[in-house]
């Protein structure tokens, strides 16, 4: 029945006012939601259908707020709380087009702090930043649940950079966070509709150039763009998401194992930030505004207590439940995005993870799309070469003018990069698009760029190791890269990794021991970013596995440079003393100079080893992760498992050897960690190979890529630690 409500009736009946006997009770219909405030003292509120049938019942929190979710669109709903019953009201659908566009006529501040009203009457906190000069200005929206609207300075925002470049930026706090009204849930449909309303409202302001706006942001502010652009707001010019995810599951549950490091801690932070502002919860800046007399911010806290418990939701959905997970996974819907896209991500991103590249082939709804991929950490989506392309894109598709960085702006680059990356003396390279004489030629040159750009050996191209410059780069027509070949290296006796499988069956054993693989320690690091990772050469503690706690295989020296771009997998036959075991697979390069460089990892909980046959390929296996497909390992016999690797873009040099290591999770991926692994004690694991058990490492090799540089320094590669090789 969704979408059958007439737009006019939905708008007229949007708000149900309380009866005179209960003037404080306020009820509002929303997109498949009903929002209630003013319920007295933890009383129960009942949602009634048009015929008076009870649809749902919920108890209010201490602030008197209740939110009914997943309500069928329709008219005639009422809410009863105590002796009070609301007037009839409507619940509308989650379709993007609003019941009425009148709400977009509202005026928002031309500069500074204020509120923007969405289609359901919720007031979102915003802060408008205008650049120097006279408007109208090219305008960008930055949107997340962080403290973006904090007038003392937006949290985790890149607004200062965009404003310096001449863009107006409207920073917006999602509903249920900070001083914004409503109740929070992780990327529920209503957040996308709010984004639609923000874009349409901002675009109509007199100070907005062309009355079109773009979206920009990194991480949370990058991911949110995908959910908003999916709704196709007519006034959206382009999006530029940086350091994003492809799928909530690949960050939260890699290989079916809960990421208790970054992902779970991030969810806990969102739970804290979504609470009503107080000394014990919520966002501190909101409490400051309330204490300063902001009545709207205070009133907006009324529904914050009705936020969804993300931690409970995380544990309830440890298996893949399509109706829950698919709407939260950009890979399932980016095909609907029809505006120009520029996206940049890192293979070794320590926060969102190395799976973003999987999105590239799914942006089928737009012809204007460009992607930059590189090794590096979370902030490297703004490294100099990427920054130039990001700026060019925004100038061409949002400002509609020739990209041209002034010398004054360029002079700020060392300060900006030192602050963001902890790396001094970083300057912007020359850019051929900015050298074009006018807008039309710059646009033509940009549109002629191949869609996929891979920056190799990021950290090796500057004047000192670890500076955010690539050693070399290569561009391609699409992703996965045309001509990619699946090359196999087979596990064999004595830790060999060979081009062919051994003729005789054999096996290697190791003791699965979680304690032997503690989470990577960055406690003593100093500098910008997460525990000092955002520096030139962070002091990684990437330690070798203790003897007997891993199975390791090493190839013969490569006879030629071997460039790998993509995912790949380890296919292995295993037998375990435990019925379930969590595995981590790490691929590294063992160089001729005795240095080992980390490249990438993959994870698997053996009980969810079944692949999704509809989506899997040899080079990109996809786990089913559904409860119905989970099964313990059989007793006493070998079983084939496939451990999907996360994406990499790495040039293995001639003379180097490829190493693959199988162990318990932890120890190789900074910030990510796995506290809830199985089994709970030790286990004996056998890895089979040879006749009847052809275990192999499969990597996506791209032939024909010229590697013009020698081995990078150690340390030096960003996001790829190195160490002396120990067999």
Of all residues in the chain, the percent with pLDDT exceeding 90 is 92
What per-residue confidence (pLDDT) applies to 252? 97
CB-based contacts of 168, cutoff 8 Å, min separation 6: 128, 129, 130, 131, 135, 137, 138, 139, 140, 207, 208
In a domain, 67, yes or no: yes
| Cβ neighbours around 107 below 10 Å, total | 11
Rounded-to-integer distance, Cα 412 and Cα 409, Å: 5
Where do the DSSP E strands lie in 193-288? 208-218, 236-242
Stated pTM of the model: 0.95
Least confident of 2-16, 48-62, 677-691, 692-706: 2-16
pLDDT tens for residues 114-143?
999 999 999 999 999 999 999 999 999 999
Rounded-to-integer distance, Cα 177 and Cα 273, Å: 6
In a domain, 715, yes or no: no
Q: Is the pLDDT of residue 611 over 90?
A: yes
Domain of 86: which CATH number? Answer: 2.60.40
Rounded-to-integer distance, Cα 61 and Cα 666, Å: 39
Q: Is the pLDDT of residue 19 over 70?
A: no
Return the residue matching tokens 């380890």.
570
Q: Tokens at residue 155, please?
A: 């949290």
Q: Under a CB-based contact definition with an 8 Å cutoff, are residues 275 and 239 in contact?
A: no
Q: Under a CB-based contact definition with an 8 Å cutoff, are residues 149 and 126 in contact?
A: yes
pLDDT tens for residues 480-493?
999 999 999 999 99
Q: Is the pLDDT of residue 16 over 90?
A: no
Strand partners, 476: 452
Rounded-to-integer distance, Cα 621 and Cα 613, Å: 9
Q: What are phi and psi of 724, to 5 degrees?
A: -65, 135
Strand partners, 661: 552, 586
What per-residue confidence (pLDDT) applies to 521? 55
Mean pLDDT of 409-420: 92
Rounded-to-integer distance, Cα 218 and Cα 244, Å: 7
Rounded-to-integer distance, Cα 420 and Cα 325, Å: 33
What per-residue confidence (pLDDT) applies to 462? 97
In a domain, 12, yes or no: yes
Q: Is the pLDDT of residue 46 over 50?
A: yes
Rounded-to-integer distance, Cα 40 and Cα 38, Å: 6
Number of structural domains (the chain) is 1
Query: Which run of H or of E encompasses 345?
Result: strand 341-346
In a domain, 222, yes or no: no
pLDDT tens for residues 258-311?
999 999 999 999 999 999 999 999 999 999 999 999 999 999 999 999 999 999
Q: Is the pLDDT of residue 601 over 90?
A: yes
Which of helix, strand or coil describes residue 295? helix
What per-residue confidence (pLDDT) applies to 518? 85
What residues make up the domain containing 15?
Answer: 7-91
pLDDT classification of 670: cutoffs 50, 70, 90: confident
What per-residue confidence (pLDDT) applies to 526? 36
In a domain, 504, yes or no: no
In a domain, 541, yes or no: no
In a domain, 66, yes or no: yes
What per-residue confidence (pLDDT) applies to 77? 98
Query: Which run of H or of E encompasses 486?
Result: strand 485-491
Mean pLDDT of 693-719: 97
Q: Tokens at residue 245, please?
A: 């995810």
pLDDT classification of 12: cutoffs 50, 70, 90: very low
Environment class of 124 (CB within 10 Å of its CB; exposed 0-12, middle 13-18, buried 19+):
buried
DSSP 519-571: PPP-TT--SBSGGG-BSSS-----PPPPTTSEEEEEEPPPSS-EEEEE--EEE
In a domain, 32, yes or no: yes
158-to-153, 218, 283, 556, 619 alpha-carbon distances in Å: 11, 7, 19, 46, 35
């Amino acid at each position: 029945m969704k979408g059958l409500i007439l737009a006019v009736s939905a708008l007229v009946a949007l708000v149900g006012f309380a009866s005179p006997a209960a003037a404080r009770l306020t009820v509002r219909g929303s997109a498949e939601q009903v929002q209630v405030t003013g319920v007295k003292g933890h009383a129960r509120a009942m949602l009634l259908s048009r015929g008076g049938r009870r649809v749902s019942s919920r108890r209010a929190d201490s602030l008197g707020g209740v939110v009914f979710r997943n309500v069928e669109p329709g008219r005639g709903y009422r809410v009863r709380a105590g002796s009070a019953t609301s007037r009839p009201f409507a619940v509308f659908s989650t379709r993007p087009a609003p019941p009425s566009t009148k709400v977009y006529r509202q005026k928002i501040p031309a500069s500074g702090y204020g509120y923007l009203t969405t289609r359901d009457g919720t007031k979102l906190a915003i802060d408008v930043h205008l650049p120097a000069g006279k408007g109208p200005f090219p305008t960008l929206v930055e949107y997340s649940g962080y403290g973006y609207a904090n007038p003392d300075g937006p949290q985790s925002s890149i607004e200062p950079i965009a404003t310096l470049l001449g863009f107006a930026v409207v920073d917006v706090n999602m509903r249920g966070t900070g001083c914004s009204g409503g109740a929070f849930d992780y990327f529920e449909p209503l957040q996308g509709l709010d984004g639609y309303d923000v874009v349409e409202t901002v675009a109509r302001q007199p100070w907005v150039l062309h009355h079109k706006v773009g979206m920009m942001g990194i991480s949370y502010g990058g991911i949110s763009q995908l959910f908003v652009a999916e709704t196709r707001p007519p006034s959206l010019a382009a999006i530029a998401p940086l350091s994003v995810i492809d799928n909530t599951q690949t960050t939260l549950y890699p290989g079916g194992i809960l990421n208790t490091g970054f992902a779970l801690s991030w969810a806990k932070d969102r739970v804290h930030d979504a609470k009503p502002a107080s000394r014990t919860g919520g966002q501190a800046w909101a409490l400051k505004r309330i204490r300063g007399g902001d009545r709207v911010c205070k009133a907006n806290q009324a529904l914050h207590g009705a936020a969804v418990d993300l931690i409970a939701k995380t544990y309830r959905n440890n298996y893949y439940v399509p109706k829950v997970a698919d709407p939260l996974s950009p890979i399932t819907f980016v095909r609907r995005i029809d505006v120009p896209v520029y996206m940049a991500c890192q293979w070794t991103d320590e926060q969102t993870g190395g799976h973003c590249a999987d999105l590239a082939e799914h942006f089928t709804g737009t012809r204007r799309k460009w992607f930059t991929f590189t090794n590096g950490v979370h902030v490297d989506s703004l490294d100099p070469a990427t920054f130039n392309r990001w700026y060019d894109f925004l100038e061409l598709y949002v400002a509609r003018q020739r990209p041209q960085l002034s010398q004054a702006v360029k002079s700020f680059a060392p300060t900006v990069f030192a602050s963001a990356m902890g790396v001094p003396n970083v300057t912007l390279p020359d850019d051929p698009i900015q050298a074009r004489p006018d807008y039309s030629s710059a646009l033509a040159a940009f549109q002629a760029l191949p869609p996929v750009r891979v920056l190799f050996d990021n950290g090796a191209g500057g004047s000192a190791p670890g500076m955010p410059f690539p050693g070399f780069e290569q561009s391609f027509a699409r992703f996965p890269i045309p001509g990619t070949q699946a090359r196999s290296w087979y596990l064999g006796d004595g830790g060999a990794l060979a081009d062919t499988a051994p003729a005789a069956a054999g096996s290697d054993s190791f003791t699965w021991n979680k304690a032997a693989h503690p989470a990577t320690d960055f406690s003593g690091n100093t500098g910008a970013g997460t525990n000092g990772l955002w520096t030139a050469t962070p002091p990684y503690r990437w330690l070798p596995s203790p003897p007997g706690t891993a199975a390791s295989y090493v190839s013969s020296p490569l006879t030629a440079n071997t460039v790998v771009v993509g995912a790949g997998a380890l296919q292995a036959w295993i037998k375990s003393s435990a019925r379930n075991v969590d595995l981590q697979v790490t691929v590294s390069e063992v160089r001729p100079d005795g240095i080992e460089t980390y490249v990438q990892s993959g994870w698997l909980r053996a009980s969810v080893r079944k692949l999704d046959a509809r989506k899997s390929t040899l080079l990109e296996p996809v786990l089913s992760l559904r409860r119905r497909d989970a099964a313990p390992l059989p007793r006493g016999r070998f079983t084939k498992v496939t451990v999907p690797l996360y994406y990499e873009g790495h040039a293995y040099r001639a003379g180097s050897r490829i190493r693959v290591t199988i162990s318990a999770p932890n120890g190789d991926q900074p910030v990510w960690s796995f506290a809830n692994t199985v089994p709970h004690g030790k286990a004996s694991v056998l890895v089979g190979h040879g006749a009847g058990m052809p275990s192999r490492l499969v990597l996506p090799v791209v032939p024909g890529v010229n590697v013009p540089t020698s081995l990078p320094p150690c340390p030096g590669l960003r996001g790829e630690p190195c160490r002396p090789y120990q067999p």
